[in-house]
Amino acid sequence: MKNILESKFLNEYCATAANMYRLGWDERNGGNISYLLTEEEVKEVLDTDKVVRLIPLGFDAKELAGKYFLVSGTGKYFKNFVGDPENNVGVFRISADGQNAELLWGYADGGRFTSELPAHLMSHIARLRVDPTNRVVMHTHPTNLLAMTYMFDLDTVKFTHKLWQMNTECIVVFPDGVEVLPWMLCGTNEIGEATAEKIALSRTVIWSMHGIYCAGHDLDETFGLVETVEKAAQIYMMTEACGGAKNLISDDQLKLLAKRFNLTYRDGVI
């Protein structure tokens, strides 16, 4: 059996978290990532018959029963993942009744998964119904996007349109647009349910005055989605600080991009 500390999935996960911290998106213990692992990946590095302990989920995740996840721990700093993954992240399986996480490795200091796990698992359920290849849900606090939620209308169509106008690649990278939620209390089943409802429509959900939730096939794709949305928000904030943009990508130009890249883009935005 291979050493989990040498596994590709764990090292990629920790490197992604370190990069997000470096960019200033995940201050202190802010942010969390959940990664749906295959049984084959897990069995290469862990004995799946040895459950370290059960951790109650606090909601019914029976739709994910038997699935394996790599999830960041509550109160943990992304900057520490690379140097000490065993105390900062955990690998668990959802129990057959959907009520518990069966911890197989990690959270070695007695910790548990992120308080945002309901939003993560509910989002996984929603995305898997739409796209069975979805494996990652990422929550982070990109600075400029966060600032934009204080400055711009909290409206899904308007927010999507403005981001698309800020950078040529935006409509190409996220043609499904973004969904926008009003401020809600974090760490609750209620925000998890609201996020899952939105993420079924778009891979990107903005938590106003808080951050972003993104879903994707793998860590690179999901990170790149956050990165692109944040870059567009940065351009918006920079141009607003200079008195507002004098030039914008027009709707006709957005349609030209959609035709060039054969995109099916969100209806009603342009």
What CATH number corresponds to the domain at position 234?
Answer: 3.40.225.10
Residue appearing with tokens 């981001």: 163
Helix, strand or coil for residue 53? Answer: strand
Find the catalytic residue in 41, 102, 116, 179: 116
Whether residue 196 has pLDDT greater than 90: yes
Per the annotation, the verdict on 116 as an active-site residue is: yes
The predicted structure's pLDDT at residue 74: 96
**In the predicted model, what is the mean pLDDT of the chain?**
96
Same domain, 96 and 121: no
Give the domain range for residue 52: 1-114
CA dihedral 87, 56, 186, 212 (to 10 degrees): 60
Evaluate whether 120 touches 32 at the Cβ level (below 8 Å): yes
Distance of CA 199 to the CA centre of its chain: 10
pLDDT tens digits, one per residue of 140-150: 999 999 999 99
Of 114, 132, 157, which residue sits at a domain end?
114
Supply the pLDDT for residue 14.
98
Q: Are 155 and 233 part of one and the same domain?
A: yes
Task: Look up residue 146 and give its two tokens.
Answer: 């966060």
When pLDDT is averaged across residues 19-33 and rounded to a whole number, the result is 96
> Each residue of 104-140: pLDDT tens digit?
999 999 999 999 999 999 999 999 999 999 999 999 9
Q: Are residues 140 and 267 in the same domain?
A: yes
Which of 114, 136, 153 is the last residue in one of the domains? 114
How many domains are there within the chain?
Answer: 2
Which of 114, 131, 166 is the last residue in one of the domains? 114
With a cut of 90, say whether residue 81 has pLDDT above it.
yes
Kindly state the tokens that stand for 93: 């399986």
Handedness of CA 30, 31, 34, 35 (dihedral sign): negative
Which pLDDT score is estimated for 1? Answer: 81
